[in-house]
Amino acid sequence: MDLKILEIASHAENKKELSNPTHSSKNKNPICGDEMEISLVVKKNIIEDMAYNCKSCVYCQASVSLLSRTIKDQSIDTFKDFFQFAEKMFTDNNLNIQKKWNGFVEIFNKKNLARKECLLLPLRTVAKALKI
C-alpha cells in the first residue's frame, strides 16, 4: 500500500455531522461492501461544506478525505465536470484537469486501478446527493 494513501486518509477533519445539510446521500459499493454517507451545504449553486461518515477501506477514506477538502467553495458545475472524467484518470495520464483537482492524480491512477470502485465511491455519492 502506498503511504500517500494513508497520509491522505488521515486528514479526517470533515468526518463529522452537519446540522443543516441541504443535500445528502448514502451509497454502498456492492463489490466490497464499503458504505458512505455524505452531507452537503449548497447555497446559490456553490458547495459551501461537506461532511462524511464511512465504513470503508483506506482507499475510500483517502478519496473522501481529499474530496471533502477540495470540493468546498466549488460550484456544482465544477464538481460535475471533474466527476465526468474522474474515471478516465485511471487509464489516461495525459488528462488536463483543473489545478484544484491535482491531488486526485496521486490516487486516481493505473497503480490503483484495482481499487477504482473504492476510490470513486465518494464522488458517486456526492453526485447522487446532487442528482447529477
Query: For 7-23, how does the pLDDT look when each residue is reduced to its tens digit (9 = 90+)?
Result: 999 999 999 999 999 99
pLDDT band at 117 (very low <50, low <70, confident <90, very high): very high
Q: Which CATH architecture has domain 3-129?
A: Alpha-Beta Complex (3.90)
Domain parsing of the chain, residue ranges: 3-129
Distance, in Å, from the CA atom of 75 to the CA atom of 105, rounded to the nearest integer, reads 20
Looking at the predicted structure, is the pLDDT value of residue 102 above 80? yes
Query: For 19-47, how does the pLDDT look when each residue is reduced to its tens digit (9 = 90+)?
Result: 999 999 999 998 889 999 999 999 999 99
Query: For 71-96, how does the pLDDT look when each residue is reduced to its tens digit (9 = 90+)?
Result: 999 999 999 999 988 988 888 877 77
Looking up cell 464538481, which residue turns up? Answer: 79
Residue 29 CB contacts under 8 Å (≥ 6 apart), including other chains: 35, 36, 56, 60, 117, 118, 121
Phi-psi region of 39 (alpha: psi -120 to 50; beta: other; left: phi over 0): beta
